[in-house]
Homo-oligomer: A and B are copies of this chain.
Amino acid sequence: MPRTGGEERRSTLVEEAIRQFGREGYAGASLDDIARAVGVRKQTLLYYFSSKDALLEACLHAAGIRLAEVIAQALEGKEGYWERAEAVIHAVFGLASEWPEFPMFVREAGRLGPLAFERFADVLDPLRRRAVEFLQSGMDDGQVRKQDPAMLLFTLYTAVVGSLTEASVLNAVVGADKSRASLRRREREVVAFVRAALEPVPDR
């Protein structure tokens, strides 16, 4: 009975679905649970999204847009190579800090196959191209070690996402807690790792 109105309910459902798809996986999350967490019946959810698959697509699209916004905003006004690279990493870690299930959902999107992942990645394609050009120009300038820029971007992606999603592994290997401080520490570690991997080798 308490009517919340169309678009707001829609986006609330998508956000909750991203949380649960990320935490439980697509197959493991149920429409009942997602709806209940929003304070609504499953049939109301199905009023907005005609099927579980349609809900997933909406989540993929929304996640892509959200990440693109966050990264684009982080890049505003940044000029230097390291400034820009670190700003992106910092922005992604910030998003993960306030929305821990977000990187989990992104990883789940990759797991669901190329078709699902494209829905997410399509929105990010302009940024992807900018990143590749950025890395390429860094190599041309001698600020970045020469290598395949696309492959390098992929490796950077896995390092960041892995660091944000493999909490169980982190716990087993390092014995880390889940606090904010631990997340910041991981961010510093990733930045240092990436920086070391990018820097050109002066000798040897």
Contact = CB atoms under 8 A, between A and B. Distances in A.
Interface in A146-188: 147-148, 150-155, 157-159, 161-163, 165-175, 185-186
Contacts of A28: 25-28
Given A25-B28, A166-B110, A174 B196 contact: no
A201 to B, nearest CB: 7
A155 B150 contact: no
Contacts of A25: 25-28, 111
A168 B117 contact: yes
A32 interface: no
B173 A128 contact: yes
Interface residues of A, number: 59
A126 interface: no
B150 A158 contact: no
Given A150-B174, A204-B199, A190 B155 contact: yes
B204 A151 contact: no
A200 B114 CA distance: 38
Contacts of A163: 154-155, 158
Nearest to A27: B28
Interface string A90-134: 000000000000001001011111101110010000001000000
A158 B156 CA distance: 10
A70 interface: no
A37 interface: no
A159 B155 contact: yes
A117 B196 contact: no
